Amino acid sequence: MTDKSANRMWGGRFKALPAEIMEEINASIGFDKRLAPQDIRASKAHASMLAAQGIITKADAREILKGLEQVLAEIESGKMDYTRALEDVHMNVEARVKDLIGTPAGRLHTARSRNDQVATDFRLYVRETIDAFDTALAGLQFVLARKAEAHAATVMPGFTHLQPAQPVTFGHHMLAYVEMLGRDRGRFADASRRLNECPLGAAALAGTSFPIDRHMTADALDFDKPSANSLDAVSDRDFVLETLAAAAITAMHLSRLAEEIVLWATHQFGFIRLSDKFTTGSSIMPQKRNPDAAELTRAKVGRVAGAFQSLLIVMKGLPLAYSKDMQEDKEVAFDALDSLALAIAAMAGMVDDMEPVPDAMRAAADQGYATATDLADWLVRALKLPFREAHHVTGRIVAEAESQSLPLEKLSLKAMQAVERRITNDVFSVLSPEKSVSSRKSYGGTAPQNVRKMARSWLKRLEKGLARG
């Protein structure tokens, strides 16, 4: 009878097959098979380098490369037959190459280990994912900036503590998220720059005695350079943690916008309308139009932030170098990055789809005495009152307006003069929401001319970047 353990790539050391439960907990092929394209790319670079260094023959290298291409074709066509008995993507790919080309396949693993393989494959995958995020986030920025340009002068209430604070414009509000997403793209770019060192050739943990050329494989895989320490190369997962941290912050930003979309779409706010494309109905209440896409986007931050925490806890107690615990890096990362990609796409669709309701926004801007700060500023400028005194006077005037159930701009001059006799009719030049937003011309302020200029600047930058992408 054939000893099945001999079929395992590490079977020479073991006399018996692992217990069924051991196979269950040990196998990762169920999730790491998505790294197969990266594994093949790295294997091709490794085989080419081995041949160039004379470590394997060029004839063997040609066979290996041919076999790898055939396996890649099978993967892309969905014909690759993965087996859990071979544990992971690396063993599955190598075993399939051996099926196709025979003996030369056994030379592919010369001067490398699964430890540096997986570190290389995962870096390639994360780098590609970051590139995709950058394009997707730029696309979301673009639809936000386009909305901002169209609504540069659409007045709405600005809030602090979810209470009316000062009038702003809807365009200004949209540009706030453009800025947030710009920082998110910067964090991802930083993570990509730091991860761009190639672990291949670090082998299990100590490097190799074979005369390999690690710069050659790094160049072939578009890394900036080889990693400088073999222990660090195989045991580092900072690149995943940093990417997940950036992903968690991005998801948080998307969640904040999603929360606002949920609020704005309510009957109580009525600031926007969403079409049937991004809403759902109720099984029992025929009138309902639920912003489920926004709600689900809002929820994704839990999964993404949870993945970061999960991997951080996995890594915190591991001595150098590699431990099997690190197999837990992939499932959480894949789930988080997939969730974020979906959330970005959903948000871009919702922002493009949502239709602002200017009349409702303008009516809300009249409530809550949002131009009270403009009145206080006028008292400082026109009457030379210290701001703290102006603040006190304004508070008394607001109380009077409230007692009469009037907005500030409708309160009589006589009523204001009863609080501060020197107030003149000129005060009404600052009390409407439109006058308030128009006066906020400081850099970064909500004045429509500022918003229009900034929106166009962003659109120009984003159009260039998206065209290059």
Per residue of the chain (469 residues), what is the pLDDT tens digit?
334 444 455 555 656 666 677 666 767 888 889 999 999 999 999 999 999 999 999 999 999 999 999 999 999 999 999 988 888 999 999 999 999 999 999 999 999 999 999 999 999 999 999 999 999 999 999 999 999 999 999 999 999 999 988 999 999 999 999 999 999 999 999 999 999 999 999 999 999 999 999 999 999 999 999 999 999 999 999 999 999 999 999 999 999 999 999 999 999 999 999 988 887 777 777 677 788 899 999 999 999 999 999 999 999 999 998 898 888 899 999 999 999 999 999 999 999 999 999 999 999 998 889 899 999 999 999 999 999 999 999 999 999 999 999 989 899 999 999 999 999 999 999 999 999 999 999 999 999 999 999 999 999 999 988 777 5
Which pTM value belongs to this model? Answer: 0.90
3-state secondary structure of 280: strand
Type of residue at 114? R
Rounded Cα–Cα distance for residues 14 and 7 (Å): 11
- Structure tokens of 149? 């340009």
Phi, psi of 17, rounded to the nearest 5 degrees: -70, 155
Say if strands 225-226 and 197-198 run parallel, antiparallel, or are unpaired.
parallel
Which token pair is 19? Answer: 């217990």
Beta strands, E only, 118-233: 155-160, 163-169, 197-198, 225-226
What's the start-to-end Cα distance of the chain, in Å? 58
**DSSP assignment letter at 290:** B
Tell me how far apart the alpha carbons of residues 463 and 469 are, in angstroms, rounded to a whole number. Answer: 10
Active site residues: 161, 282
